[in-house]
Chains A and B, each alone.
Chain A
Amino acid sequence: MPSPADAGDAWLFEAIGTAWRIDAARGLDDDDRSAVLARVERFDRDWSRFRDDSLVARIAAARDGGEWPLPNDAGPLLDLYERLHAATGGRVSPLVGASLERLGYDATYRLRPSGEPVPAPAWAETLDLERADAGAVRLRTRTGVLLDVGAAGKGYLVDLVGDLLAARGAVETVVDGSGDLRALGGAGIRVALENPANPTKAVGVVELRDAALAASSPSRRAWGEGLHHIIDAVTGRPVGGIIGTWVVAATALEADGLATALFVAEPAELEAAFDFTWVRMFSDGRLEASVRWEGELFR
Protein backbone atom coordinates (compact mmCIF):
# COMPACT_ATOMS: atom_id res chain seq x y z
CA MET A 1 0.00 0.00 0.00
CA PRO A 2 1.42 3.44 -0.79
CA SER A 3 1.79 4.81 2.73
CA PRO A 4 1.06 8.44 3.67
CA ALA A 5 4.71 8.73 4.67
CA ASP A 6 6.02 8.03 1.20
CA ALA A 7 3.62 10.53 -0.31
CA GLY A 8 5.57 13.20 1.56
CA ASP A 9 8.10 13.76 -1.21
CA ALA A 10 5.64 13.10 -3.99
CA TRP A 11 4.05 15.78 -6.07
CA LEU A 12 0.37 15.11 -6.65
CA PHE A 13 -1.73 17.09 -9.08
CA GLU A 14 -4.70 16.74 -11.42
CA ALA A 15 -4.39 17.15 -15.17
CA ILE A 16 -6.10 15.96 -18.34
CA GLY A 17 -8.99 14.61 -16.31
CA THR A 18 -7.06 12.32 -14.00
CA ALA A 19 -4.72 12.17 -11.01
CA TRP A 20 -0.94 12.44 -11.41
CA ARG A 21 1.88 11.67 -9.03
CA ILE A 22 5.57 12.34 -9.61
CA ASP A 23 8.44 11.26 -7.35
CA ALA A 24 12.02 12.31 -8.02
CA ALA A 25 15.08 11.48 -5.91
CA ARG A 26 16.23 15.09 -5.78
CA GLY A 27 12.75 16.52 -5.31
CA LEU A 28 11.08 18.92 -7.70
CA ASP A 29 11.38 22.69 -7.37
CA ASP A 30 8.88 25.29 -8.54
CA ASP A 31 10.56 25.62 -11.94
CA ASP A 32 10.33 21.86 -12.51
CA ARG A 33 6.65 21.90 -11.61
CA SER A 34 5.86 24.89 -13.83
CA ALA A 35 7.65 23.22 -16.72
CA VAL A 36 5.69 19.98 -16.25
CA LEU A 37 2.34 21.78 -16.00
CA ALA A 38 3.11 23.83 -19.10
CA ARG A 39 4.04 20.68 -21.04
CA VAL A 40 0.85 18.92 -19.96
CA GLU A 41 -1.23 21.97 -20.87
CA ARG A 42 0.34 22.14 -24.32
CA PHE A 43 -0.41 18.45 -24.94
CA ASP A 44 -3.99 18.93 -23.78
CA ARG A 45 -4.45 22.01 -25.96
CA ASP A 46 -3.26 20.04 -28.98
CA TRP A 47 -4.84 16.64 -28.47
CA SER A 48 -7.83 16.90 -26.14
CA ARG A 49 -11.20 15.86 -27.49
CA PHE A 50 -12.80 17.34 -24.37
CA ARG A 51 -12.14 21.05 -24.97
CA ASP A 52 -13.40 23.17 -27.84
CA ASP A 53 -10.21 25.23 -28.26
CA SER A 54 -7.92 22.28 -28.99
CA LEU A 55 -6.29 21.49 -32.31
CA VAL A 56 -8.28 18.25 -32.42
CA ALA A 57 -11.52 20.23 -31.98
CA ARG A 58 -10.55 22.63 -34.76
CA ILE A 59 -9.75 19.75 -37.11
CA ALA A 60 -13.13 18.19 -36.32
CA ALA A 61 -14.98 21.45 -36.88
CA ALA A 62 -13.49 22.01 -40.36
CA ARG A 63 -16.34 20.43 -42.34
CA ASP A 64 -14.58 20.97 -45.65
CA GLY A 65 -11.28 19.68 -44.35
CA GLY A 66 -7.99 21.52 -44.32
CA GLU A 67 -4.27 21.26 -43.99
CA TRP A 68 -2.84 21.06 -40.50
CA PRO A 69 0.79 21.25 -39.40
CA LEU A 70 0.80 18.93 -36.36
CA PRO A 71 2.81 19.65 -33.20
CA ASN A 72 6.35 18.28 -32.89
CA ASP A 73 5.23 15.45 -30.63
CA ALA A 74 2.82 14.05 -33.24
CA GLY A 75 5.38 11.87 -35.05
CA PRO A 76 6.04 9.15 -32.45
CA LEU A 77 2.38 9.08 -31.37
CA LEU A 78 1.02 8.62 -34.88
CA ASP A 79 3.81 6.15 -35.72
CA LEU A 80 2.69 3.98 -32.83
CA TYR A 81 -0.94 4.25 -33.90
CA GLU A 82 0.05 3.22 -37.39
CA ARG A 83 1.83 0.11 -36.09
CA LEU A 84 -1.06 -0.78 -33.78
CA HIS A 85 -3.55 -0.21 -36.56
CA ALA A 86 -1.63 -2.64 -38.78
CA ALA A 87 -1.12 -5.25 -36.05
CA THR A 88 -4.79 -5.28 -35.02
CA GLY A 89 -6.40 -5.25 -38.45
CA GLY A 90 -7.65 -1.71 -37.91
CA ARG A 91 -9.25 -2.37 -34.50
CA VAL A 92 -7.03 0.25 -32.84
CA SER A 93 -7.38 3.59 -34.58
CA PRO A 94 -7.05 7.30 -33.77
CA LEU A 95 -10.30 7.79 -35.70
CA VAL A 96 -12.66 6.48 -33.01
CA GLY A 97 -13.71 9.96 -31.86
CA ALA A 98 -17.09 9.87 -33.58
CA SER A 99 -17.70 6.27 -32.42
CA LEU A 100 -17.10 7.30 -28.80
CA GLU A 101 -19.35 10.34 -29.16
CA ARG A 102 -22.09 8.10 -30.55
CA LEU A 103 -21.88 5.98 -27.40
CA GLY A 104 -22.23 9.09 -25.25
CA TYR A 105 -18.56 9.65 -24.35
CA ASP A 106 -18.41 13.17 -25.69
CA ALA A 107 -16.95 16.48 -24.50
CA THR A 108 -20.04 17.24 -22.41
CA TYR A 109 -20.17 13.73 -20.88
CA ARG A 110 -23.67 13.16 -22.21
CA LEU A 111 -23.15 9.46 -21.37
CA ARG A 112 -26.19 8.39 -23.37
CA PRO A 113 -25.92 6.72 -26.77
CA SER A 114 -27.36 8.79 -29.61
CA GLY A 115 -28.00 5.80 -31.88
CA GLU A 116 -26.49 2.54 -33.04
CA PRO A 117 -22.69 2.23 -32.75
CA VAL A 118 -20.75 3.63 -35.73
CA PRO A 119 -17.46 2.16 -36.97
CA ALA A 120 -14.47 4.48 -37.16
CA PRO A 121 -13.78 5.82 -40.67
CA ALA A 122 -11.12 3.91 -42.60
CA TRP A 123 -7.59 5.22 -42.03
CA ALA A 124 -6.53 5.10 -45.68
CA GLU A 125 -9.48 7.20 -46.82
CA THR A 126 -9.44 9.67 -43.97
CA LEU A 127 -5.93 10.32 -42.66
CA ASP A 128 -3.55 11.78 -45.19
CA LEU A 129 -0.27 12.23 -43.31
CA GLU A 130 2.78 13.76 -44.84
CA ARG A 131 6.07 13.36 -43.01
CA ALA A 132 8.94 15.77 -43.62
CA ASP A 133 12.57 14.78 -43.01
CA ALA A 134 12.88 16.65 -39.72
CA GLY A 135 10.05 14.57 -38.28
CA ALA A 136 7.38 17.21 -38.81
CA VAL A 137 3.97 15.83 -39.74
CA ARG A 138 1.26 17.52 -41.78
CA LEU A 139 -2.30 16.27 -41.82
CA ARG A 140 -4.66 16.82 -44.71
CA THR A 141 -8.38 16.27 -44.21
CA ARG A 142 -11.23 16.42 -46.69
CA THR A 143 -14.00 16.55 -44.13
CA GLY A 144 -14.48 17.00 -40.39
CA VAL A 145 -12.49 14.25 -38.64
CA LEU A 146 -12.62 13.71 -34.89
CA LEU A 147 -9.28 12.32 -33.72
CA ASP A 148 -9.10 10.48 -30.40
CA VAL A 149 -5.68 9.55 -29.05
CA GLY A 150 -7.12 8.00 -25.89
CA ALA A 151 -5.56 4.59 -26.57
CA ALA A 152 -1.99 5.81 -26.18
CA GLY A 153 -1.98 9.58 -25.59
CA LYS A 154 -1.73 9.57 -21.81
CA GLY A 155 1.09 7.03 -21.83
CA TYR A 156 2.91 9.23 -24.33
CA LEU A 157 2.44 12.26 -22.10
CA VAL A 158 3.91 10.27 -19.18
CA ASP A 159 7.01 9.69 -21.35
CA LEU A 160 7.18 13.34 -22.38
CA VAL A 161 7.00 14.47 -18.75
CA GLY A 162 9.64 11.92 -17.73
CA ASP A 163 11.95 13.04 -20.54
CA LEU A 164 11.43 16.68 -19.63
CA LEU A 165 12.39 16.04 -16.00
CA ALA A 166 15.42 13.97 -17.05
CA ALA A 167 16.56 16.89 -19.24
CA ARG A 168 16.24 19.14 -16.19
CA GLY A 169 18.55 16.86 -14.23
CA ALA A 170 16.06 14.77 -12.24
CA VAL A 171 17.14 11.18 -11.63
CA GLU A 172 15.33 8.12 -10.25
CA THR A 173 12.01 9.59 -11.30
CA VAL A 174 8.64 7.88 -11.24
CA VAL A 175 5.92 9.51 -13.32
CA ASP A 176 2.50 8.04 -12.55
CA GLY A 177 -0.33 9.33 -14.71
CA SER A 178 -2.92 7.06 -13.07
CA GLY A 179 -2.84 3.81 -14.95
CA ASP A 180 0.25 4.70 -16.97
CA LEU A 181 3.55 4.73 -15.16
CA ARG A 182 7.18 5.19 -16.10
CA ALA A 183 10.10 4.48 -13.77
CA LEU A 184 13.28 6.22 -14.92
CA GLY A 185 16.46 5.04 -13.23
CA GLY A 186 17.76 1.80 -11.84
CA ALA A 187 16.20 1.81 -8.37
CA GLY A 188 13.15 -0.25 -9.21
CA ILE A 189 9.68 -0.03 -7.68
CA ARG A 190 7.12 -2.68 -6.81
CA VAL A 191 3.70 -2.12 -8.33
CA ALA A 192 0.46 -3.94 -7.52
CA LEU A 193 -1.88 -4.82 -10.37
CA GLU A 194 -5.30 -3.68 -9.15
CA ASN A 195 -8.19 -6.07 -9.67
CA PRO A 196 -10.57 -4.10 -11.94
CA ALA A 197 -13.55 -5.80 -10.29
CA ASN A 198 -12.38 -4.97 -6.77
CA PRO A 199 -9.95 -2.11 -6.13
CA THR A 200 -8.97 -3.45 -2.69
CA LYS A 201 -7.37 -6.50 -4.28
CA ALA A 202 -4.29 -7.01 -6.42
CA VAL A 203 -4.10 -9.79 -8.97
CA GLY A 204 -0.31 -9.55 -9.10
CA VAL A 205 2.83 -7.56 -8.35
CA VAL A 206 5.55 -6.54 -10.77
CA GLU A 207 8.91 -4.85 -10.24
CA LEU A 208 9.70 -2.04 -12.67
CA ARG A 209 13.22 -0.85 -13.36
CA ASP A 210 13.79 1.70 -16.12
CA ALA A 211 10.59 0.61 -17.81
CA ALA A 212 6.96 1.52 -18.19
CA LEU A 213 3.74 -0.15 -17.07
CA ALA A 214 0.27 0.60 -18.36
CA ALA A 215 -2.99 -0.71 -16.93
CA SER A 216 -6.20 -0.52 -18.89
CA SER A 217 -9.73 -1.34 -17.83
CA PRO A 218 -13.26 -0.17 -18.56
CA SER A 219 -14.07 -0.33 -14.83
CA ARG A 220 -13.91 3.39 -14.02
CA ARG A 221 -15.13 4.69 -17.37
CA ALA A 222 -18.31 2.69 -17.78
CA TRP A 223 -21.65 4.47 -17.92
CA GLY A 224 -24.18 1.72 -18.49
CA GLU A 225 -24.72 -1.91 -19.38
CA GLY A 226 -22.02 -2.71 -21.95
CA LEU A 227 -21.10 0.97 -22.36
CA HIS A 228 -17.49 2.00 -21.76
CA HIS A 229 -14.57 3.76 -23.44
CA ILE A 230 -12.57 0.81 -24.79
CA ILE A 231 -13.99 0.15 -28.22
CA ASP A 232 -13.25 -1.81 -31.36
CA ALA A 233 -12.71 0.72 -34.16
CA VAL A 234 -14.01 -1.75 -36.75
CA THR A 235 -17.43 -2.08 -35.09
CA GLY A 236 -17.55 1.08 -32.98
CA ARG A 237 -18.75 -1.08 -30.08
CA PRO A 238 -17.29 -1.42 -26.56
CA VAL A 239 -15.30 -4.62 -26.15
CA GLY A 240 -16.62 -7.28 -23.77
CA GLY A 241 -15.09 -10.31 -22.11
CA ILE A 242 -11.83 -8.76 -20.92
CA ILE A 243 -11.95 -6.56 -17.82
CA GLY A 244 -8.30 -5.58 -17.45
CA THR A 245 -4.92 -5.59 -19.18
CA TRP A 246 -1.41 -4.72 -18.02
CA VAL A 247 1.64 -4.21 -20.22
CA VAL A 248 5.32 -3.71 -19.39
CA ALA A 249 7.34 -2.11 -22.19
CA ALA A 250 10.26 0.25 -22.69
CA THR A 251 8.06 3.33 -23.00
CA ALA A 252 4.70 4.30 -21.56
CA LEU A 253 3.58 5.20 -25.10
CA GLU A 254 4.00 1.62 -26.23
CA ALA A 255 2.72 0.16 -22.95
CA ASP A 256 -0.46 2.26 -23.06
CA GLY A 257 -1.20 1.52 -26.72
CA LEU A 258 -0.58 -2.19 -26.28
CA ALA A 259 -2.71 -2.37 -23.12
CA THR A 260 -5.60 -1.04 -25.21
CA ALA A 261 -4.76 -3.30 -28.16
CA LEU A 262 -4.96 -6.40 -25.92
CA PHE A 263 -8.71 -5.81 -25.67
CA VAL A 264 -9.20 -6.17 -29.41
CA ALA A 265 -6.35 -8.39 -30.63
CA GLU A 266 -4.81 -11.71 -29.72
CA PRO A 267 -1.55 -11.26 -27.80
CA ALA A 268 0.40 -13.35 -30.31
CA GLU A 269 -0.49 -10.93 -33.12
CA LEU A 270 0.91 -8.06 -31.08
CA GLU A 271 3.98 -9.98 -29.90
CA ALA A 272 4.97 -10.43 -33.52
CA ALA A 273 5.25 -6.67 -33.89
CA PHE A 274 6.23 -5.35 -30.43
CA ASP A 275 8.61 -6.15 -27.59
CA PHE A 276 6.54 -6.29 -24.38
CA THR A 277 5.14 -8.53 -21.65
CA TRP A 278 1.50 -8.59 -20.61
CA VAL A 279 -1.27 -9.85 -18.32
CA ARG A 280 -4.96 -9.87 -19.09
CA MET A 281 -7.99 -10.65 -16.94
CA PHE A 282 -11.31 -11.98 -18.18
CA SER A 283 -14.72 -11.17 -16.75
CA ASP A 284 -14.94 -14.58 -15.08
CA GLY A 285 -11.76 -13.86 -13.10
CA ARG A 286 -9.35 -15.86 -15.25
CA LEU A 287 -5.83 -14.44 -15.59
CA GLU A 288 -3.59 -14.99 -18.55
CA ALA A 289 0.02 -13.81 -18.88
CA SER A 290 2.78 -13.78 -21.45
CA VAL A 291 5.38 -16.52 -21.24
CA ARG A 292 8.00 -13.92 -20.39
CA TRP A 293 5.97 -12.20 -17.65
CA GLU A 294 8.38 -11.64 -14.74
CA GLY A 295 6.05 -10.47 -12.01
CA GLU A 296 3.94 -12.46 -9.55
CA LEU A 297 0.36 -13.35 -10.28
CA PHE A 298 -2.20 -14.38 -7.67
CA ARG A 299 -4.50 -16.91 -9.27
Chain B
Amino acid sequence: MTRSTRPAAAPLAGAAAAAALLTTLAGCATAADAGTDAAPEAPSGAEADTSAVYDDGTYSASGEYQSPNGGESIIVELTLEGDIVTDVTVQTNANNPTTERFQGLFAGGIAAEVVGKDIDTLNVTRVAGSSLTSGGFRDALEQIKADALAG
Protein backbone atom coordinates (compact mmCIF):
# COMPACT_ATOMS: atom_id res chain seq x y z
CA MET B 1 0.00 0.00 0.00
CA THR B 2 1.26 3.41 -0.91
CA ARG B 3 1.18 5.72 2.00
CA SER B 4 1.95 9.38 2.23
CA THR B 5 4.58 10.21 4.75
CA ARG B 6 5.00 13.78 3.64
CA PRO B 7 2.37 16.48 4.16
CA ALA B 8 1.22 18.05 0.90
CA ALA B 9 2.48 21.42 2.12
CA ALA B 10 6.11 20.34 2.42
CA PRO B 11 7.34 22.06 -0.75
CA LEU B 12 5.94 25.36 0.48
CA ALA B 13 7.66 25.02 3.82
CA GLY B 14 10.91 24.24 2.05
CA ALA B 15 10.58 27.26 -0.17
CA ALA B 16 9.89 29.45 2.84
CA ALA B 17 13.16 28.29 4.34
CA ALA B 18 14.97 29.23 1.14
CA ALA B 19 13.31 32.64 1.11
CA ALA B 20 14.49 33.18 4.68
CA LEU B 21 17.98 32.18 3.62
CA LEU B 22 17.96 34.81 0.89
CA THR B 23 16.60 37.44 3.24
CA THR B 24 19.51 36.87 5.57
CA LEU B 25 21.99 37.28 2.77
CA ALA B 26 20.40 40.46 1.51
CA GLY B 27 20.73 41.89 5.02
CA CYS B 28 17.11 42.83 5.15
CA ALA B 29 15.35 41.36 8.17
CA THR B 30 11.84 42.63 7.44
CA ALA B 31 10.92 39.52 5.48
CA ALA B 32 11.21 39.05 1.78
CA ASP B 33 7.91 37.52 0.93
CA ALA B 34 5.70 37.00 3.92
CA GLY B 35 3.31 35.14 1.68
CA THR B 36 5.54 32.10 1.50
CA ASP B 37 4.39 31.09 4.95
CA ALA B 38 0.78 30.93 3.88
CA ALA B 39 -0.83 27.53 4.21
CA PRO B 40 -2.22 26.12 0.97
CA GLU B 41 -5.73 26.48 2.39
CA ALA B 42 -5.37 30.23 2.93
CA PRO B 43 -7.84 31.96 0.63
CA SER B 44 -5.61 34.95 0.00
CA GLY B 45 -2.64 36.83 1.33
CA ALA B 46 -4.59 39.86 2.45
CA GLU B 47 -2.70 40.09 5.75
CA ALA B 48 0.76 39.49 4.33
CA ASP B 49 3.14 42.42 4.63
CA THR B 50 4.33 43.12 1.11
CA SER B 51 5.49 46.66 1.72
CA ALA B 52 9.24 45.99 1.62
CA VAL B 53 11.08 47.33 -1.42
CA TYR B 54 14.17 45.66 -2.83
CA ASP B 55 16.87 46.83 -5.20
CA ASP B 56 16.82 45.29 -8.64
CA GLY B 57 19.50 42.72 -9.21
CA THR B 58 20.52 39.15 -8.72
CA TYR B 59 20.83 37.73 -5.23
CA SER B 60 22.29 34.41 -4.31
CA ALA B 61 22.76 32.34 -1.19
CA SER B 62 23.97 28.91 -0.31
CA GLY B 63 22.80 26.71 2.47
CA GLU B 64 23.99 23.56 4.17
CA TYR B 65 21.84 21.07 6.00
CA GLN B 66 21.95 17.55 7.40
CA SER B 67 19.83 15.03 5.53
CA PRO B 68 19.38 11.38 6.52
CA ASN B 69 22.05 10.77 3.86
CA GLY B 70 24.59 13.11 5.39
CA GLY B 71 25.54 16.76 4.80
CA GLU B 72 24.04 18.40 1.70
CA SER B 73 24.06 21.87 0.20
CA ILE B 74 22.08 23.97 -2.25
CA ILE B 75 22.61 27.35 -3.92
CA VAL B 76 19.63 29.57 -4.69
CA GLU B 77 19.85 32.53 -7.05
CA LEU B 78 17.03 35.08 -7.51
CA THR B 79 16.68 37.93 -10.00
CA LEU B 80 14.51 40.86 -8.89
CA GLU B 81 13.10 43.55 -11.16
CA GLY B 82 10.71 46.14 -9.79
CA ASP B 83 10.04 43.98 -6.72
CA ILE B 84 9.01 41.02 -8.88
CA VAL B 85 11.03 37.86 -8.99
CA THR B 86 11.75 37.32 -12.65
CA ASP B 87 14.02 34.31 -12.40
CA VAL B 88 15.04 31.67 -9.89
CA THR B 89 17.63 29.01 -10.19
CA VAL B 90 18.31 26.40 -7.57
CA GLN B 91 21.61 24.62 -7.96
CA THR B 92 21.48 21.31 -6.21
CA ASN B 93 24.64 19.61 -4.98
CA ALA B 94 23.38 16.28 -3.85
CA ASN B 95 25.75 13.61 -2.62
CA ASN B 96 23.43 10.73 -3.38
CA PRO B 97 20.53 9.88 -5.73
CA THR B 98 17.75 10.08 -3.13
CA THR B 99 18.75 13.54 -2.05
CA GLU B 100 19.14 14.56 -5.68
CA ARG B 101 15.58 13.50 -6.40
CA PHE B 102 14.11 15.44 -3.48
CA GLN B 103 16.24 18.49 -4.24
CA GLY B 104 14.94 18.35 -7.81
CA LEU B 105 11.33 18.36 -6.59
CA PHE B 106 12.14 21.24 -4.28
CA ALA B 107 13.86 23.24 -7.02
CA GLY B 108 10.76 22.93 -9.22
CA GLY B 109 8.49 23.91 -6.36
CA ILE B 110 10.33 27.06 -5.41
CA ALA B 111 10.46 28.30 -9.00
CA ALA B 112 6.68 27.98 -9.35
CA GLU B 113 5.99 29.55 -6.00
CA VAL B 114 7.62 32.90 -6.69
CA VAL B 115 6.07 33.49 -10.12
CA GLY B 116 3.66 36.42 -10.33
CA LYS B 117 2.65 39.66 -8.65
CA ASP B 118 1.26 40.08 -5.14
CA ILE B 119 -2.51 39.87 -5.49
CA ASP B 120 -3.11 42.71 -3.03
CA THR B 121 -1.28 45.11 -5.34
CA LEU B 122 -3.63 44.36 -8.26
CA ASN B 123 -6.90 46.11 -8.94
CA VAL B 124 -9.13 43.06 -9.31
CA THR B 125 -12.55 42.10 -7.99
CA ARG B 126 -12.12 38.32 -8.08
CA VAL B 127 -9.42 35.74 -7.76
CA ALA B 128 -9.58 32.54 -9.82
CA GLY B 129 -7.80 29.60 -8.27
CA SER B 130 -8.55 26.00 -7.45
CA SER B 131 -11.83 25.43 -5.61
CA LEU B 132 -11.84 25.97 -1.89
CA THR B 133 -12.47 22.70 -0.10
CA SER B 134 -15.13 21.64 2.36
CA GLY B 135 -14.57 21.22 6.07
CA GLY B 136 -14.92 17.45 5.64
CA PHE B 137 -12.04 17.26 3.19
CA ARG B 138 -9.83 19.52 5.29
CA ASP B 139 -10.52 17.57 8.48
CA ALA B 140 -9.71 14.30 6.73
CA LEU B 141 -6.48 15.78 5.37
CA GLU B 142 -5.43 16.97 8.84
CA GLN B 143 -6.05 13.45 10.14
CA ILE B 144 -3.87 11.98 7.39
CA LYS B 145 -1.03 14.37 8.24
CA ALA B 146 -1.33 13.61 11.96
CA ASP B 147 -1.23 9.87 11.27
CA ALA B 148 1.81 10.30 9.03
CA LEU B 149 3.71 12.16 11.75
CA ALA B 150 2.75 9.61 14.40
CA GLY B 151 3.56 6.64 12.18
Q: Are B134 and A199 in contact (CB under 8 A)?
A: no
Please encode chain A, from 172 to 188, with 1 for each CB lying within 8 Å of some chain B CB and 0 for all others. Answer: 00101111110000000
Q: Which of A17, A220, A243 contacts B41 (CB 8 A)?
A: A220
Q: Are B131 and A198 in contact (CB under 8 A)?
A: no
A180 contacts which chain B residues (CB < 8 A)? 131
Q: Are A202 and B137 in contact (CB under 8 A)?
A: no
A56 in contact (CB, < 8 A):
no
Q: Are A199 and B112 in contact (CB under 8 A)?
A: no
Give the contacts of B76-130 with A (CB-CB under 8 A): 84, 88, 108-109, 111-120, 122-130
Question: In chain B, what residue has the closest Cβ to A14?
Answer: B134
B113 contacts which chain A residues (CB < 8 A)? 195, 197-198, 201, 285
B48 in contact (CB, < 8 A):
yes
Q: Are B115 and A199 in contact (CB under 8 A)?
A: no
Number of B residues, CB within 8 Å of A: 55
B27 in contact (CB, < 8 A):
no
Give the contacts of A83-134 with B (CB-CB under 8 A): 109-115
Shortest A100–chain B CB gap in Å is: 13
B12 in contact (CB, < 8 A):
yes
Tell me which of A71-79, A221-229, A268-276 binds B: A221-229
Q: How far is the CA of A174 from the CA of B125 in the complex (A)?
A: 11
B46 in contact (CB, < 8 A):
yes
Give the contacts of B24-55 with A (CB-CB under 8 A): 33, 35-36, 38, 40-46, 48, 50
Shortest A182–chain B CB gap in Å is: 11
Which of B1, B2, B109, B131 gathers most chain A CB within 10 Å? B131
Q: Are B130 and A244 in contact (CB under 8 A)?
A: yes
| Given known A-B contacts A17-B133, A18-B132, A189 and B126 have beta carbons under 8 A apart | yes
Q: Are A285 and B45 in contact (CB under 8 A)?
A: no
Q: How far is the CA of A187 from the CA of B133 in the complex (A)?
A: 30
| Given known A-B contacts A2-B126, A190-B123, A190-B125, A219 and B116 have beta carbons under 8 A apart | no
Q: Are B130 and A2 in contact (CB under 8 A)?
A: no
Please encode chain B, from 1 to 23, with 1 for each CB lying within 8 Å of some chain A CB and 0 for all others. Answer: 11111101001100000000000
Please encode chain A, from 262 to 299, with 1 for each CB lying within 8 Å of some chain B CB and 0 for all others. Answer: 00000000000000000001111101000000000011
Q: How far is the CA of A217 from the CA of B114 in the complex (A)?
A: 17
B131 contacts which chain A residues (CB < 8 A)? 18, 154, 177-180, 220-221
Q: Which of A181, A199, A287 contacts B45 (CB 8 A)?
A: A199
Q: Are A200 and B112 in contact (CB under 8 A)?
A: no
Q: Are A221 and B130 in contact (CB under 8 A)?
A: yes
| Given known A-B contacts A1-B119, A2-B125, A203-B116, A218 and B1 have beta carbons under 8 A apart | no
B38 contacts which chain A residues (CB < 8 A)? 198-200
A176 contacts which chain B residues (CB < 8 A)? 126
A–B pairs, 18, beta carbons within 8 Å? A109-B141, A115-B1, A179-B130, A190-B124, A191-B124, A191-B128, A197-B113, A198-B12, A199-B45, A219-B130, A220-B129, A220-B131, A222-B8, A225-B4, A244-B130, A281-B112, A285-B113, A299-B115
